[in-house]
Structures are given as C-alpha cells and as structure tokens.
Amino acid sequence: MFRTSVLSFMLLFGASTYGAEAGDDTALQERLQAHITFLADDLLRGRQPGTEGYDIAANYVASQFRQMGLRPAGTDGSYFQQVPMRRAWLNDGSAKLELLRDGQVRSFRFVEEFYRSPSLAHVNSELQAGMVFAGYGIDAPLLEYNDFDGLDVEGKVVVVLRGQPLDFPSEEGAHFSSGREVLKNLVSRGAIGVIMIHTPRTEQKFAWSRVESLVGMPSMGWLDEQGQVFAGFEQILGGAMIHSPAAAALFEGAELQLAELLARDEAGEPLPGFELPGEIRMGQSSRHESISSPNVAAYLPGGDPLLNSEFLVYMAHLDHIGELHGEGHGDVINNGALDNASGISVMLETARLFTEREAPRRSVLFLAVTAEEKGLVGSEYFAQNPTIPREQLAGVVNLDMPLLLYDFGDVIAFGAEHSTIGDAVQQAADREGVALTPDPFPEQNIFVRSDHYRFVQQGVPAVFLVTGTSSADGTTDTKAIFEGFLKDHYHTPSDDLNLPINYRAAARFTRVNFGIGDIIANQLERPRWREGDFFGDTFGR
Ligand SMILES: [Zn+2]
C-alpha cells in the first residue's frame, strides 16, 4: 500500500459469519504459499522498481501467466509493458529550509523538523520568497469550497495544512486534498513553492517518527512521450513537509498563530487565508536517472463473441519499497510478504481458477503493476497508455495488502457503493459465506489510495478488495492482529515470511476474489457507475 497513505485502522467488530466449509483446497493453499515464499524471499531484496529483484519478480509472474496458458497483454506480443521512469535521489545534506525574518535566519533541521523527497523536476533548485497561508490548499467548486478566495499567491510559497476540512465527504475530500490536486491549484495560481504542515490529525495517519525511514529512498515518476515526468510540476521550485511543532515559527507575528489554526482544524471550523511575515528560503539538489520497470499483463479471452471485446481487470502491485538505508538497522530488506506478495499470489491463483473452467463471456485481464509505492506510477502509466483500448476496460478489482493472518469472517470492498461492481462483490461474498462490510474506515479515504484509482480517474469503475476485520469463529482477537500488523510490520523489514500467514484464509480470499470476476465477466450488463456518483460524474464517460 502507498506510503503516504499510511493507515491507522480502527477496528470495528462486525457480526461474525460462519462460512460454508470449502472442499479440500490444500493444493490451492500450497500454490499460494509457493508464490508468496518466492516473491518475499530475501533474494529479491524488497522488489524495488529498477532493481534486479523487481525484474526477477516480474519474470516470475510472466512465467506463471504463460504456464497457465494466458495470452500476453503487454507490448510487442510480450507479457511486459515497460514503464519509462525517472528515478531521483536526494543528495545528502542538500535539503535546506530557512526562515528569514527581522534580519534573523532560522534553519530548520532536515528530518527532525522538515522533510522533502527527492525532486523529480529539478536537479538543483533554490528559491527565496514571501509566504501565504492558504488553509488546506483546496479548490473544490463542487463542494462550494475555495481556500484561495481573495488570496494572491503568485510568486509565493504557499503554506497549507495537510488534510481536508473535517466536514468534507471523505472520498471527494481525499480527491481534492490529494497532493496532486493541491499542487495543480498552486501552479495554476502562479505559486513557486509549498510547505505542507504535518498536523496532529495527519499524525494519526502517518506518525512523523516514520519519516526517517523515507530518507535514502528514491522518488519515481513516469515519462510522457516528450520525456517529461507526468505531473512533475516544474513550476514548483521548492517543497517541504514540516512537523507542526517546528511550523509554529512560520506564524510568529502573523494575524493568527498555528496553535489557533490547528484548534480550528480539529474543531472543523473554517480556516482563513493570510500573508505570513518574513521570507522563506529553500534549496535542494537531486540526482536523476532514467530507468524502466515493467508492468506484467496477460489475458484470458472471453467465450462470448458479443462480449469478449470487454475486459474485466484484476490488478495488484508487484513492487515493494526495497531496502533500508543508513546505520543501525539489523534486517534491512523490506520483503513485503503481505504488501503485496500476498495480493499478487491471490491474483495468480484467481487466474488459475479461471483457466480451470469454461471461459467466461467477457475477457479477463490480469495486471501486475510496478511502482505503486512511488505514487501509483505503473498503474497510471497503464491506465493512460493501455495495451487494450480504454473503452474496452469494463471494470477493475484491485488487490493490495490483504491481511491473510486469520480466518476472516468478512471482506471489505472499497468503492463498492460507487458502482454495480458492489453487487457482484455482495453475491461473491454470499457464495463463500462471508459478510461484505461497508467501508469501516471512511476517514482514511482508502478508495483513492491504491492502484485502481488510476483507472477510476480514466472513468473505469473499480473496487479494492481486502479481508475484513471480523474473525470467522467470532472469538479470535483480530483487532490485536490487525493493529499489530499496521503498527509493527507495515512497510518494515518484518513484513516477511516470519509472519503467521494463514493459507486457509488466503485460499478463501482467492475464492471470493474469483467469484467477483466470475459474476462480472458472465453477467449481461457491463459494470456501471451508480446514478449521481461523484466519481462517475467526475471521471466517467
Ligand atoms: Zn505498501
């Protein structure tokens, strides 16, 4: 799952459901274990895009596709779609953030007080400019909300709180408050820099103490036909995330202090915009490299000549975050056993279940994508450069980090309420005797935070399927397991094969996942957005 979308799941205890006993699925369990064991091995060194470890994983997936008799759906008759990317590394010690006021210079300390990622747009950049506070940096006409009303930010560094107003509908809000939308707003108004304040509300989703683990990790972006990084925002010469205790200094002498703004943020009260006294100076230097990393794609042709030009898409990200840098770590390899070797394994065995039966009416595409952890990069490249015409993509089921650690009693399908795919998920869950739980974490905006969202942005309905938080027997303390994973193992070297992966649960999850596609690929009506749905209305065509 995407790094900036760290979740601190709160558990809800839904009614547990006892499922119908599956037949003997030992062979399925063994195969799932085989995939995860291969993909999460130390030899692959955390499957970072652009490394041998990732490429070996990609070859493994292609080889499995071929073994199952699936047809290539990459480019040039291959299983691969190479994604051209820029990889950027921040030069050690180059990140600078200084406040200039009343003849004094206050330097903020990198990582302890502020953080910035490597710049994909600039090898070197430096700026000095005045500052404007602009709420959350959101302009959402649909919600009759605009943080820029009456503000002139041209040539300025815009200071914003990370996040969104408390009363925003969560998914729409997540769209409007995403880094990309905020940067678009700044660029269109002529701003040249941005400082995002990591608030106490942000802290609940992603603890500042985890920022340190990002140091030494590269940024990646895909290149368009002109060789430019897509959504690279070259006009923005400086950017930083600042921890709120340090950010208070930016507001000294201003008409409102940060503490007051944070209190309003917590209380859901409106935030005014205003100029801040003094100037900010920012600088950085980054190293750029050109790399390519493959998406892996294959398909099963549908059996109905009237429907088989339409494709149901299963997808999962194959990459993970590589190795830790710096001193003092024991195990440095982030194996990503559950993030997302598990999702890939379930997708592979879902494909096998399809190949063992009569072909469905529609065709089914299986897509393993690269660089999810770098900002949904491989999926966006595919969604914008599909190897199958976009209008033939009927719907998406995405698998990312299913927690296969206990016999689950329910599944969650983020996005189920947005399209008729939700009906298929309900039927598939019923078939397998598990409950379908409505999104229990609306405040986490998970629907906009994994690969399927890049397809949603191209108008394709999608769901993101994960195991739920109730146990099948109703007695297991899943809360401890679930929260323990997110706290202790998520994006750390201990998301590895030492976890007690429950392959019985993995097999069951695979059957639910298969059921969704089996229903969608065989029903007469193509999936569609619900009437009046925000995402359908915004992106649908
Ligand atoms: Zn992840």
SS (H, E, C) 114-145: EECCCCCCCCEEEEEEEEEEECCCCEEHHHCE
Cα of 6 to ligand 1 centre, how many Å?
Answer: 8
CATH class of 12-78+301-539: alpha beta
Cα of 38 to ligand 1 centre, how many Å?
Answer: 18
Cα of 96 to ligand 1 centre, how many Å?
Answer: 28
CA-to-CA distance for 425 and 413, rounded, in angstroms?
Answer: 7
Which tokens belong to 32? 């799932």
Cα of 253 to ligand 1 centre, how many Å?
Answer: 41
Confidence at residue 439, expressed as pLDDT on a 0 to 100 scale: 86
**With 50 as the cut, is the pLDDT of residue 347 above it?**
yes
When comparing pLDDT for 450 and 148, which is higher? 148
Taking only the tens place, the pLDDT of each residue in 7-57 is: 333 233 333 333 334 567 999 999 999 999 999 999 999 999 999 999 999
Is residue 278 left, alpha or beta, with left meaning phi > 0 and alpha meaning psi from -120 to 50? Answer: left
Cα of 418 to ligand 1 centre, how many Å?
Answer: 24
Cα of 540 to ligand 1 centre, how many Å?
Answer: 28
Taking only the tens place, the pLDDT of each residue in 168-198 is: 887 888 889 999 999 999 999 999 999 999 9
Cα of 490 to ligand 1 centre, how many Å?
Answer: 7
Cα of 1 to ligand 1 centre, how many Å?
Answer: 3
Cα of 450 to ligand 1 centre, how many Å?
Answer: 9
Q: Ligand 1 being an ion, which residues bring their Cβ within 5 A of it?
A: 1, 339
Percentage of residues in the chain with pLDDT exceeding 70?
Answer: 95
Confidence at residue 10, expressed as pLDDT on a 0 to 100 scale: 29
Taking only the tens place, the pLDDT of each residue in 93-133 is: 999 999 999 999 999 999 999 999 999 999 999 999 999 99
Cα of 283 to ligand 1 centre, how many Å?
Answer: 29
CA angle 126/121/149 to nearest 5° reads: 75
Q: What is the CATH number of domain 88-288?
A: 3.50.30.30
Cα of 255 to ligand 1 centre, how many Å?
Answer: 40
Cα of 431 to ligand 1 centre, how many Å?
Answer: 30
Cα of 367 to ligand 1 centre, how many Å?
Answer: 17
> pTM for the whole thing?
0.91
Q: Where are the domains of the chain?
A: 12-78+301-539, 88-288
Q: Label the pairing between strands 219-222 and 157-161.
A: unpaired
Report the Cα 353 to chain-centroid distance in Å.
27
Taking only the tens place, the pLDDT of each residue in 140-169 is: 998 899 999 999 999 999 999 999 999 888
Cα of 382 to ligand 1 centre, how many Å?
Answer: 19
**Strand ranges inside 260-357, DSSP E:** 273-300, 311-317
Cα of 100 to ligand 1 centre, how many Å?
Answer: 38
Confidence at residue 5, expressed as pLDDT on a 0 to 100 scale: 39
Confidence at residue 60, expressed as pLDDT on a 0 to 100 scale: 98
Cα of 70 to ligand 1 centre, how many Å?
Answer: 27
Cα of 534 to ligand 1 centre, how many Å?
Answer: 27
Cα of 34 to ligand 1 centre, how many Å?
Answer: 21
**What mean pLDDT value characterizes the chain?**
92
Confidence at residue 519, expressed as pLDDT on a 0 to 100 scale: 98
Cα of 295 to ligand 1 centre, how many Å?
Answer: 17
Q: Mean pLDDT, to the nearest integer, of 315-331? A: 87
| Least-confidence region, from 233-237, 347-351, 478-482, 515-519 | 478-482
Confidence at residue 479, expressed as pLDDT on a 0 to 100 scale: 82
Cα of 506 to ligand 1 centre, how many Å?
Answer: 19
Question: For residue 303, how many C-alpha atoms fall within 13 Å in the half-sphere facing its CB?
Answer: 11
Cα of 39 to ligand 1 centre, how many Å?
Answer: 15
**Residues 315, 351: contact at Cβ < 8 Å?**
no
**Residues 449, 174: contact at Cβ < 8 Å?**
yes
Cα of 186 to ligand 1 centre, how many Å?
Answer: 28
Cα of 400 to ligand 1 centre, how many Å?
Answer: 8
Cα of 52 to ligand 1 centre, how many Å?
Answer: 19
Cα of 41 to ligand 1 centre, how many Å?
Answer: 17
Q: Label the pairing between strands 238-243 and 219-222.
A: unpaired
